[in-house]
Structure 1
Amino acid sequence: MGRAEERRARQRGGARRGAPAPATGHRAEGGRADRRKSKDGKGDRGFIRRMFTWKKLLGAFFGVVLVCMGAFVVLYMVIDIPNGNNQAKLQSNTFEYSDGTVMARTGEVNREIVQLADLPQEVQRSFVAAENKSFYTDKGVDLKGTARGLFNTLSGKGKQGGSTITQQYVKNYYLTQDQTVTRKLKELVISLKVERQSSKEEILAGYINTSYYGRGAWGIQAAAQAYYGVDAAKLKPEQGAYLAALLQAPSQYDYSSATETGRKLVTARWNYVLDNMVEMHWLDAGERKDMTFPKPRKPKAASGLTGQEGYLYEAAKAEAIKDLDIPKEKFDAGGYTITLNINRKKQKQLEQSVKDQLTDKLNPKRSETDADVQAGAVSVDPKTGKVLAMYGGRGYTEHYTNNATRSDYQPASTFKPIILAAALADSADTQSGQQIKASTSYDGTSKRPVEEDGKKVGFAPPNEDDQDYGPVTVQTAMNKSINSVFAQMGVDVGMDKVMETAKQLGMDSGDLKPYAAQTLGTMGASPLEMAGVYATLDNHGRKVTPKLLKSVTYGGQDQPLPDAIGGQVLDRGVADSVTSVLTGVVDDGTAKTSVRDNPARAGQQVAGKTGTSDCNRSAWFTGYTPDLVTSVGLFGEAAGKRTLSCDDKKTPVGKGGQVSLSGAAGGGRVNGGAFPAQIWAQYTFNATGSTSKFDLDTDMGAGVKPTTSAPVTPSDTPSQTPSQTPTTKAPSQTPTTPSQEPTTQTPTQTPTTEEPPPTDSPTIELPENPANDRQQQE
């Protein structure tokens, strides 16, 4: 046996004899198995320990930090402060009555930017106490809150985590409400830059003005109105604290509609805000203790543009754009607060007067004519030019055209005082050389050809009902609204001078070409225009331009408005003389039944003029007391297809065309002394209790009785061929002793003015006036 075999035999024998040998063998195999596992990379803790030492981990951490810092530096350099987003810039336009009550808000967003300085300091600080107590000392970002927000966004937990007031302002004004990592990183960078470029006051103001408070209110001004019905400048500290608390959950925290839980939560947050203010020494502890929770008022429906408010809105908007020369696009972008001169009480009185005296008497469903009746009215303070009330029609959504400002209907005989004013201003003479005054005599024969320098001018207007009057004074001609007299007077003065006077008094929308037919008021005019004309007369000849706007602010700054009161356009004596003459229309003329004898009249002095246009398409009464001027117009506007009733050819008229008012409310012709004067009287005598007297510098007016014969002239001599037999007595051929009684019928009550007859007046005996129950030409 060789050595090797002997050795192997010994080994085998030893293995049989020694028990530990197999164990040794197992260890060897196990060791090889462990080595194999190690080669596979499993379970080698030593390897992991060698790979992830604390030094390597620390190095990796700093590496990540450096990368992040580098990335942030890049972002900081790349991201600029953007322009504010359009939605954040949008504001509403707010329209208010003269007392500050909101009439309407218009625009896509209910927001009105206010200056921080306009807010009480406690209100400003309540937002800081609610959202970011370190606002005045921090750098504009909350890194912990931002990191928490990023984590919540990545993990899908939604809107959680805190932000500073600066960050919230940046989100509202520069960015969007999207919850994305990109938006949050931008928010962080822009917030840091905004902090460097803007003051804390600017940032706080931006935050307060761009935040959403619920009830459709964006910004604190809209919120103050929505929840407490006041401007933000008038908020109390406890109210400001509620609005600040509200921002956390506007819908849930609206106390008037919140659940019991919601009410408890918002009350707790309100207390939290006030307690923070005490802690930061912004609120006295004793004052805080006395505060009670300021329950907001219930939500009100948004002010709409229905009824009369729609007309007021459109008229005020048009006036603002015109007077301030504002581009329409800028106005529509919002931010304007427009306060109107409209007096809410007088506005309601005017609306009620139209209802009582007109619309309640119409039945549009049964009568085509009733359906065609449109009314418009404007009331003005003659001393200030303020439009105190305006009636535009049945309702803005039913009839979009504002009847108070439309100028497509004839003012008819309400134009006659302008002819007289032009005559007096120019010291004009009749064709015979007699100076035109209230006592001057004219031929009132219907269809008498108008003459100039002894020649007929081809114009011979009829009086109403083709009635002849014979010789009459200018005063009587105004009282009875005699067309033939004023047609001749216009030519006597010169129609170019008449039209110039009309423009000076404020008529500018109609055709003011100087031809004789214009003496009948055939141009277009609006109740607003005519109110201005008569207000200038009432204001002793100083120009009055009616103004709807009391004030306009934009960005907290008052915008300059043109003055409603202008310079002297008529001598005071001229204006006052016309006023005096116009008292006769009320005391003994076409308006005496509706106005003079109105039971609501309590001694108010009144001057005014009626008007009824050709074919009865329009009917007017424009009148005034010393304190109030109101023009009322009725217009025949076809509500459907019609035929022109005064036209024998039955000319078809389409919807919206001009038609006759005759037959409205089951009656006959609609004169200015009927519905318009009745509306005027109810409104005026309710709206003003003043019994002040006209302060007139004149010797003309109602009650002036001519006392001497006038020379015979073409304009003074009655027509030799009247269209019908005069109903009046022929004048005496010889002068007689003047009668002690006025030539007009004595009023049933004392006239509003009693002017003594001029001592130098000519003395002629006038024929009796036609019966007062006849319909007079207007």
Structure 2
Amino acid sequence: MGRAEERRARQRGGHRAAPKRRRSAPAGGAAPAPGGSAGPAPGRRAAGKAAKPPKGRIRRLFTWKKILGTFFGLCLLTIAAFIGLYMYVDIPVGNADAQLQSNIYKYSDGTMLARTGQLNRESVDLAQVPKDVQRTFVAAENKTFYHDSGVDLRGTARGVLNTLMGRGTQGGSTITQQYVKNYYLDQNQTVSRKLKELVISLKLDRQKSKDYILAGYINTSYYGRGAYGIQAAAQAYYHKDAKDLSVQEGAYLAALLQAPNQYDWAIASDTGKKLAVARWNYVLDNMVKQHWLDAGKRQALKFPVPKAPKAAPGMKGQTGYLVDAANAALEKQLVAQGRANSIGDAEALVKKGGWTITLNIDKKKQAQLEQAVTSQLISKLDPKKRSVDGNVQPGAVSVDPKTGKVLAMYGGADYFKHFTNNATRRDYQPASTFKPVILAAALAEGATTQDGQPITANTIYDGTSGRQVVDRGSKVGFGPPNEDDQDYGPITVQTAMNKSVNSVFAQMGVDVGMRTVMATAAELGMDTKGMDPVPAQTLGSMGASPLEMAGIYATFDNHGKKVTPAIIKSAEHKDSDLALPDPIGDQVIPQKAADTVTSVLTGVVDDGTASDSVAGNSARHGQQVAGKTGTSDNNKSAWFTGYTPGLVTSVGLFGEDSKTHAQVPLTGATGPLNPIGHTGRINGGGYPAMIWASYTFEAMGDVSKFDLNTDQGAAVQPTQTPTHSQTPSQTPSHTPTSKPPTSSAPPSKTPTQTPTQTPTQTPTQTPTQTPTQTPTGGISDNPLDPGGGRNFGQ
């Protein structure tokens, strides 16, 4: 055997095998394999290894190397995708003007009401805008504008994430991004749009100067009042050119961009005005921080109140009010359905055009309402002879209670002359038209008086003027006077409603609980956000609009099923339609409670404060009517909201100074506003009720009766003559003066006072008592009475 063969033989013989200590004995004690090998066969050894359980498989699968590699891989993919997107997306041709199209508005029968869309924009060179004014926009929106790259990556990432998660969008965009959105893209909140915005902004910042971008931004932004661009905005808010704007005026225009509708001084709520001033201060303070404005000069600046707005062309008469009301309703729905992130965005989408909006407005009834206001009020006013006549602002809304459709609306004498829509404004008190809400709450909740008697139409209350309201034996510090400080003594709820007796409903509100009253008001459709329940609200001391009150009374008329007045019948866009909610909602108060309120309110018309204007109208022809009058604190507003089974209409008159637009009484130093035989103040039973009757009896159709599920109220019980045998009480009594009480139980408390005088006449209608005393009266300074305590009620 050669050396090579011998060496191979030794190798085969196991001389290079593993040391003995690592050998495993063959299974079953078998002898070692020939050649000296003590290990198992290769196949058996492999099988043995496979049979062992895996160790740390998850740990081996998710090693830090693999995780880091995956992360960097995703980063590379993202970078590659962005580079591809950057190369693919070019700066498009500006198309903002092309996207702004006409909106078409139609009556319910399809006939044309209005066409809008004439673009109110006049671009100006940046050189024509004062440098300080330019900087107000930078201070407001993007302090790093002059040295950033045109994008806010963190803000954009946050916006993309919120969009993906359905949270809408948040702030964070630079001026460059906002300009791209306004001019090159659109307001749609999608991931693809935001990514395009990011790429175009980066490219635009590299290719164009900062002045070019800033000029484009302030010339394409929407400022409200139909104004696009700073020149149109300067004219709309300050009636001057952009070149003449002061720094404080520029700061207000810059502040407007955050919320044009909310911050517009002419239509802003008190909260909106506070927010606008806060934003204005924010802009100027930022200018100081950027060393663009001297701190001493900044302290001397005062808020520049904008001038009254000018009406857009083609919107004269009632047309502008109807179009604005339709736009407001459309914008609200766009936000509610997630198609716009805010009212400001929704307003921009509507102004952008392409909508065909059909209103529920009935062309014939609209003309009838306008004619009623003109014939019963406008034609009798002469501001040239009596300046106080120029202070009256009428507003009215008519609603179908079965469908919720707004059939007619009167917003003011002319949209050109008075921008604010009197039919939708909420800055005046509804006064005693709120009293039926208190009764509705009592009936719906089964409330009782202080001594445990159920509150019904026949429950007796003390109608003494100025009587201090009692809550479980303790006075609450509130005692409102009745109209003319008249005392009624013990009277039924029915009579108290007929005569609009403040002292009775103040006590009833506390008996029911003001939280319950205000909760019922909210369910019926009143906006009660931010209101703390207090006894003074029984006088209707909160703000409300004719549209709001029409909806509440329509719910009464609809047997307690919620009616939300709807001015829009349909809204179609060139790209998509908008689904509208059903104006008729759920049962919010029991049918019997709603029908009892209606029954009680027929007494106001037949025997109460509206009887002269409504019950005696020759055109009534036996039509059954329910309604309530109201006259607010210091006679600043007068109301009548009334209804038939098929038509609800709320009419309000508002005292507004024709120059300052401040609230003023509907009377003047030289006499009353109305020149036709009235010698005192205007009240709801006068002009408002006259307008209502003139319109309703013309527009209502066939004579009809209410179908009521109740055994209470004037509609189901005959009027009786009081006996005057009882005496008034400081606590609620339960002896009727006009109708028998429904409760058979006698009162638990006896009268504590007797009148000092006796009636000299026997009333012929549902009664009142001759006043037993003449309180000194006066305007209350009680903190529970923010309305002043003299909401006279009629």
The whole-number CA distance in structure 2 between the counterparts of 1:717 and 1:472 is: 13
**Partner deviation per Cα, 1:491-523 (whole Å, 9 max, x = no partner):** 000011000000000010676321111101101
| DSSP-derived class of the 1:518 partner | helix
**Partner deviation per Cα, 1:1-25 (whole Å, 9 max, x = no partner):** xxxxxxxxxxxxxxxxxxxxxxxxx
- Cα 1:105–1:427 change in 2 (3 A) is same
**Partner deviation per Cα, 1:628-685 (whole Å, 9 max, x = no partner):** 0000000110113xxxxxxxxxxxxx54333344611233210100000000000000
Shift of residue 476 of structure 1? 0.5
Residue 665, structure 1, aligned to residue 685, structure 2: no
The whole-number CA distance in structure 1 between the counterparts of 2:496 and 2:449 is: 15
Q: Which residue of 1 aligns with 2:461?
A: 442
Q: Which residue of 2 aligns with 1:336?
A: 355
| DSSP-derived class of the 1:307 partner | coil
Shift of residue 81 of structure 1? 12
Shift of residue 768 of structure 1? 5.8
- 2:713 partner letter: G
Q: 1:570-609 to 2 correspondence within 5 Å?
A: 570-609=589-628
Are the counterparts in 2 of residues 373 and 661 from structure 1 also a CA contact under 8 Å?
Answer: no
Shift of residue 557 of structure 1? 3.5
Are the counterparts in 1 of residues 481 and 792 from structure 2 also a CA contact under 8 Å?
Answer: no
Are the counterparts in 2 of residues 588 and 744 from structure 1 also a CA contact under 8 Å?
Answer: no
- 2:373 partner letter: V
Q: Which residue of 2 aligns with 1:471?
A: 490
- 1:684 partner letter: T
- 1:636 partner letter: G
The whole-number CA distance in structure 1 between the counterparts of 2:421 and 2:695 is: 19
Residue 314, structure 1, aligned to residue 348, structure 2: no
Q: Which residue of 2 aligns with 1:688?
A: 700
Q: Which residue of 2 aligns with 1:304?
A: 314
Q: Which residue of 1 aligns with 2:423?
A: 404
The whole-number CA distance in structure 1 between the counterparts of 2:487 and 2:350 is: 56
| DSSP-derived class of the 2:598 partner | helix
| DSSP-derived class of the 2:613 partner | helix
- 1:310 partner letter: G
The whole-number CA distance in structure 2 between the counterparts of 1:407 and 1:395 is: 19
Q: Which residue of 2 aligns with 1:700?
A: 712
Shift of residue 710 of structure 1? 6.5
- 2:625 partner letter: V
The whole-number CA distance in structure 2 between the counterparts of 1:621 and 1:443 is: 25
Q: Which residue of 2 aligns with 1:541?
A: 560
Q: Which residue of 2 aligns with 1:96?
A: 106
- 1:448 partner letter: R
- 1:410 partner letter: Q
Q: Which residue of 2 aligns with 1:185?
A: none
- Cα 1:602–1:511 change in 2 (3 A) is farther
**Partner deviation per Cα, 1:700-722 (whole Å, 9 max, x = no partner):** 110366336863467x95766x7
Are the counterparts in 2 of residues 443 and 719 from structure 1 also a CA contact under 8 Å?
Answer: no
| DSSP-derived class of the 1:313 partner | helix
- Cα 1:304–1:587 change in 2 (3 A) is same
**Of 423, 439, 444, the match for 1:425:** 444
Q: 1:171-210 to 2 correspondence within 5 Å?
A: none
Shift of residue 559 of structure 1? 1.1
Determine what percentage of the aligned residue pairs are the same residue: 62
**Of 371, 384, 388, the match for 1:369:** 388
Shift of residue 359 of structure 1? 0.7
The whole-number CA distance in structure 1 between the counterparts of 2:684 and 2:415 is: 25
Residue 676, structure 1, aligned to residue 688, structure 2: yes
Q: What is the aligned length? A: 462
- 2:524 partner letter: L
Q: Which residue of 1 aligns with 2:409?
A: 390
Shift of residue 368 of structure 1? 2.1
**Partner deviation per Cα, 1:177-201 (whole Å, 9 max, x = no partner):** xxxxxxxxxxxxxxxxxxxxxxxxx
| DSSP-derived class of the 2:395 partner | strand
Q: Which residue of 1 aligns with 2:258?
A: none
The whole-number CA distance in structure 2 between the counterparts of 1:463 and 1:548 is: 37
**Partner deviation per Cα, 1:409-464 (whole Å, 9 max, x = no partner):** 11000000000000001111111111000111111111111111111111111110
Shift of residue 551 of structure 1? 0.2
**Partner deviation per Cα, 1:551-579 (whole Å, 9 max, x = no partner):** 00011643101111111101101100100
Unaligned runs of 5+ in 1: 1-77, 111-173, 175-301, 641-653, 731-742, 747-765
The whole-number CA distance in structure 2 between the counterparts of 1:509 and 1:332 is: 30
Are the counterparts in 2 of residues 308 and 393 from structure 1 also a CA contact under 8 Å?
Answer: yes
| DSSP-derived class of the 2:674 partner | helix
Q: Which residue of 2 aligns with 1:149?
A: none
| DSSP-derived class of the 2:505 partner | helix
The whole-number CA distance in structure 1 between the counterparts of 2:316 and 2:375 is: 20
**Partner deviation per Cα, 1:734-765 (whole Å, 9 max, x = no partner):** xxxxxxxxx8617xxxxxxxxxxxxxxxxxxx
Shift of residue 377 of structure 1? 0.2
Residue 516, structure 1, aligned to residue 535, structure 2: yes
Q: Which residue of 2 aligns with 1:656?
A: 662
| DSSP-derived class of the 1:523 partner | coil
| DSSP-derived class of the 2:521 partner | helix
- Cα 1:403–1:603 change in 2 (3 A) is same
- Cα 1:729–1:374 change in 2 (3 A) is same
**Partner deviation per Cα, 1:285-312 (whole Å, 9 max, x = no partner):** xxxxxxxxxxxxxxxxx98111100111
Are the counterparts in 2 of residues 104 and 303 from structure 1 also a CA contact under 8 Å?
Answer: no
Q: Which residue of 2 aligns with 1:745?
A: 765
Shift of residue 85 of structure 1? 4.0
Residue 711, structure 1, aligned to residue 746, structure 2: yes
**Partner deviation per Cα, 1:198-241 (whole Å, 9 max, x = no partner):** xxxxxxxxxxxxxxxxxxxxxxxxxxxxxxxxxxxxxxxxxxxx
Q: Which residue of 2 aligns with 1:526?
A: 545
Are the counterparts in 2 of residues 363 and 665 from structure 1 also a CA contact under 8 Å?
Answer: no
Are the counterparts in 2 of residues 443 and 717 from structure 1 also a CA contact under 8 Å?
Answer: no
Residue 352, structure 1, aligned to residue 362, structure 2: no
Are the counterparts in 1 of residues 518 and 528 from structure 2 also a CA contact under 8 Å?
Answer: no
Shift of residue 87 of structure 1? 3.9
**Partner deviation per Cα, 1:52-105 (whole Å, 9 max, x = no partner):** xxxxxxxxxxxxxxxxxxxxxxxxxx9999668444433111111111112111
| DSSP-derived class of the 2:665 partner | coil
Residue 480, structure 1, aligned to residue 478, structure 2: no
The whole-number CA distance in structure 1 between the counterparts of 2:462 and 2:91 is: 82
The whole-number CA distance in structure 1 between the counterparts of 2:657 and 2:752 is: 40
- 2:581 partner letter: P
The whole-number CA distance in structure 2 between the counterparts of 1:92 and 1:767 is: 59
The whole-number CA distance in structure 2 between the counterparts of 1:351 and 1:380 is: 15
- 1:500 partner letter: A
- Cα 1:556–1:706 change in 2 (3 A) is same
Are the counterparts in 1 of residues 398 and 647 from structure 2 also a CA contact under 8 Å?
Answer: yes
- Cα 1:368–1:511 change in 2 (3 A) is farther
- 1:696 partner letter: L
| DSSP-derived class of the 1:665 partner | coil
Shift of residue 526 of structure 1? 0.3
Shift of residue 108 of structure 1? 3.0
- Cα 1:371–1:82 change in 2 (3 A) is closer
The whole-number CA distance in structure 2 between the counterparts of 1:719 and 1:449 is: 15
Which entry has the higher C-alpha Rg, 1 or 2?
Answer: 1
| DSSP-derived class of the 2:318 partner | helix
Q: TM-score, normalised by structure 1?
A: 0.56
